[in-house]
Amino acid sequence: MNFFKIETPNLILRHLKPRDLKGMFELDSNPLVHKYLGNKPNTRIEQSKKDIAFNVQQHKERGIARWATVEKSSGNFIGWSGLRLNNDLTFNNKTNFYDVGYRFIPRYWGKGYATESSLAAIDYFFNTMEKELLCGIAETGNGASNRVLQKIGLIFINDFTIDGTDAKWYELNRENYAKTMS
């Protein structure tokens, strides 16, 4: 796989690697992290291995992925941020859509990292990958995630449910992205 790195003022986004396994399991075994993700934290490290492999594969095949996010000041793995092609899942009656997402270990919350990394992922999506439509999903109760999606310029489209839980659907198309850049 080609070398890949996106650098922002405080963060590095790079491929997830086998050495991120410990951090990925720390992230996904934390109930706080999964509060608005169906409340089913991982209990088996094998799941984290599969998650890393899935993202490595998405990048190989499509040039996009949820990327390992590293805090520059400490060199620590803090979680992941980035893009996903959802061709295996249906939400809001849609499949085959790209979304932007982020998931960090709680001690790194509240530092602006979801916003900073997502803005870089959006730039990559429209300017490098030259894609047309980016979506975003957050459970309605997930105040931080809804706020991030709004801050990075996604536009609220409609309410829907995920397994009976209220959620919000957002979108950003190329035209609106260009307007935010001008």
Ligand X SMILES: CC(C)(COP(=O)(O)OP(=O)(O)OC[C@H]1O[C@@H](n2cnc3c(N)ncnc32)[C@H](O)[C@@H]1OP(=O)(O)O)[C@@H](O)C(=O)NCCC(=O)NCCS
Q: What is the DSSP secondary-structure string of 16-71?
A: --GGGHHHHHHHHT-TTTTTTTTS-----HHHHHHHHHHHHHHHHHHS--EEEEEE
Q: Name the minimum Å distance from CB 177 to ligand X.
A: 19
Q: Which of 56, 60, 62, 65 is nearest to 99 (CA)?
A: 65
The residue (of 32 and 178) whose beta carbon lies closer to ligand X is 32
The residue (of 18 and 112) whose beta carbon lies closer to ligand X is 112
Q: How far apart are CA 94 and CA 23, in angstroms?
A: 31
Q: Which residue ranges make up the site for ligand X (CB under 6 A)?
A: 33, 36-37, 102-104, 109-115, 138, 142-145, 147-148
Q: Name the minimum Å distance from CB 29 to ligand X.
A: 13
Q: What are the structure tokens assigned to 90, written together?
A: 């249906």
The residue (of 61 and 180) whose beta carbon lies closer to ligand X is 180
The residue (of 98 and 102) whose beta carbon lies closer to ligand X is 102
CA–centroid distance for 54 within its chain? 14
Closest residue (Cβ) to ligand X? Answer: 143
Q: Name the minimum Å distance from CB 21 to ligand X.
A: 18
Q: How far apart are CA 150 and CA 145, in angstroms?
A: 9
Q: What are the structure tokens assigned to 156, written together?
A: 């609220």
The residue (of 104 and 124) whose beta carbon lies closer to ligand X is 104
Q: Name the minimum Å distance from CB 178 to ligand X.
A: 23
Q: Name the minimum Å distance from CB 85 to ligand X.
A: 17
Q: How far apart are the first and last CA of the chain?
A: 34
The residue (of 52 and 138) whose beta carbon lies closer to ligand X is 138
Q: How far apart are CA 2 and CA 155, in angstroms?
A: 33
Q: Name the minimum Å distance from CB 77 to ligand X.
A: 13
